[in-house]
Structure 1
Amino acid sequence: MTRRPRIILGISLWLCLTSAAMAQPAFKQRQLQYPRVRAAFVEKEPLLKAKFSEKELAYPPANIFLRIFKNEKQVEVWVGSGQNGYQLAEIYDICSSSGGLGPKRARGDRQVPEGFYHISHFNPASSFHLSLGLSYPNRSDRILKKGSDPGGSIYIHGDCVTIGCIPITDDRIKELYVLAVEARAAGQARIPVHVFPARLDSLNFAALQREYAGDGALIGFWENLKTGYDRFQSSGRVPKVTIDNKGKYLFE
């Protein structure tokens, strides 16, 4: 490679890195143009700083990870802490739910999805105060759907009403939204969200096996989810998730 192409390549790489670095703070500034987001930061940021300080966690968080447990009606917020993996920062209660245990397979089935997702949309002007969209349907959902339409528009949001979403009240969504904006602004392009029927420890999973013994396909699906659950439980690190041609989750 001659000197001139090397210089051009170097400039191109510098421009790409600079653009990426500038894009994330710009995201936060765009979000802060919305009144509800500004109000959430004013109200909740001092509280979050105090909570994080008490737990010896860095604020603002560079990355976060969410786990949702349908049976327990809880949303866990984990914060990345460098070499120590993730530490639990907060648990928010889900205040209303629809459907039952088991994955979402069709539009209108009222089910909350189960599987491995990420935050795909920030809605600063939601009908439910603020909301964070899940990347449902993912490839597994599209493969395993019933009929032609697996549905969509699944959000973690405010208020306390739902048909297939995850409401945690206006007060709590303010905190979670602030954390998600900060993580995105720090460079976390994908905030992982893992949704489980319940905490899949040995006792709970045995109870699910007994209660749903007649549904082998559902138990098999939950066994697949449990593999991902166990990976995080044992390592404190979010596993890399891929999906095979049959809709099964694979973990690295």
Structure 2
Amino acid sequence: MMFTAVRTGGIVLLALFLSACVSTVLDVDGKATQAIPAALVAEMSRKSMSASAPILVRIFKQESELEIWKRDRSGRYALLKAYPMCRWSGKLGPKKRDGDRQAPEGFYHVSAGMLNPNSQYYLSFNLGYPNTLEAALGYTGEALMVHGACSSSGCFALTDEGVAEIYAVAREALKGGQGTFQVQAFPFRMTPQNMAKYRNDPNFSFWSDLKLGYDIFEVTRRQPKVSYCEGRYVFDREFEGGEPRDPLASCPPALNAADPLVAGRQQSDRVAMDDLLSTGSVLSAHAYSDGGMHPSFRKLLERGGQASLAKRTSLTSVPISRPEAALADPHSPNE
């Protein structure tokens, strides 16, 4: 009877693990302790960065790219490396409910405890979805990860080789004293062209809020401070009485004015977007079947199928998720 109970408990635990992008492997076998590759360490040195310096991560769905930024000796963030994304799922837009296959969009903060060395998908880290705002809005789901392999059901898959580098860089930054690192997940690069292209999308207001955080980082090269009120993101504001406690309540009066350089960037982008709309030179919006794949991986998949992609990249035995949908990714790198 004891054996039966243990066996039953094990089956239940395994089922829970398999319900999302989480671990089913109990042995770490050194994956999580791999050193940062020598070439990447040399690149850090060339850019006046240290392995222990803080990082910031940006993710772009449409472009299927993940960027690691690192703080250099000037105190500002600089781009360390961009990684092609092998697979993400869903469509452009935020994740709202468990099972919708949506990869999240928003601002997240990852601590050391959110690194997963035992991932079924080689290595991974949890984004922390739902964040405070998403939980207040009633969004559901859990264990949304950045991980290896080329399979996604709401996660961002970077291949084993890609996530191994990202994991090592994140681990060393957290060991160096960074309490959490910020992850900014966007539907696309928030350019006037893309904002004009998606002007009629139901998510446009939400994306406009995200764009302020995007612009702050683009202009200042520093991590924006994230707050929530009125059911939306608010950035770099100091409020009377301190931080708003209820993400759905009205925003308290602000004690500080917006950065004039950031405000200038917002204004110039609005003018550029309006000009594109008025001249009719806006490209059609993309309609995703079920997520996308970076063109470099898509070419391999087109030429030789899953076996060719697995052979040419560092992948576990996990199958590529919905390869037909990946091949239908409408994004062109030449746009």
Q: TM-score range by the shorter chain?
A: 0.7 to 0.9
Find the aligned partners of 1:174 and 1:152 in 2 and give their Cα distance: 22
Aligned counterpart in structure 1 of residue 132 of structure 2, from 134, 139, 153: 139
Paired letter, 1:251: F
Q: Does 1:249 align with 2:233?
A: yes
Higher helix share: 1
Give the 5 Å matches for 1:1-252. Answer: 35-38=30-33, 40-41=34-35, 44-53=36-45, 55-120=46-111, 121-145=114-138, 150-210=140-200, 212=201, 215=202, 218-244=203-229, 246-252=230-236
After TM superposition, what 4+ stretches of structure 1 lie above 6 angstroms from structure 2?
none
Residue 178 of structure 1: SS of its match in structure 2? helix
TM normalised by structure 2 equals: 0.59
Residue 191 of structure 1: SS of its match in structure 2? strand
Offset, 1:143: 2.4
Find the aligned partners of 1:56 and 1:69 in 2 and give their Cα distance: 23
What root-mean-square deviation, in Å, do the aligned CA atoms of Structure 1 and Structure 2 show?
Answer: 1.5
> Could you tell me the percent identity over the aligned residues?
38
Paired letter, 1:191: F
Find the aligned partners of 2:99 and 2:60 in 1 and give their Cα distance: 21
Offset, 1:97: 1.6
CA shift digits 1:193-234 (9 cap, x unpaired): 000110001111111114x2xx2xx11111111111111111
Does the 8 Å contact 1:61/1:80 carry over to 2? Answer: no
Structure 2 partner of 1:16? none
Find the aligned partners of 1:100 and 1:228 in 2 and give their Cα distance: 21
Does the 8 Å contact 2:150/2:159 carry over to 1? Answer: yes
Does the 8 Å contact 1:34/1:125 carry over to 2? Answer: no
CA shift digits 1:38-90 (9 cap, x unpaired): 3x22xx4323212223x423231410000000111100100011435100000
Structure 1 partner of 2:7? none
Offset, 1:144: 2.4
Gaps of 5+ in 1: 1-32
TM normalised by structure 1 equals: 0.78
Residue 176 of structure 1: SS of its match in structure 2? helix
Find the aligned partners of 1:145 and 1:105 in 2 and give their Cα distance: 8
Find the aligned partners of 2:32 and 2:40 in 1 and give their Cα distance: 15
Residue 209 of structure 1: SS of its match in structure 2? coil
Higher strand share: 1
Paired letter, 2:133: S
Does the 8 Å contact 1:117/1:193 carry over to 2? Answer: yes
Find the aligned partners of 2:40 and 2:227 in 1 and give their Cα distance: 33
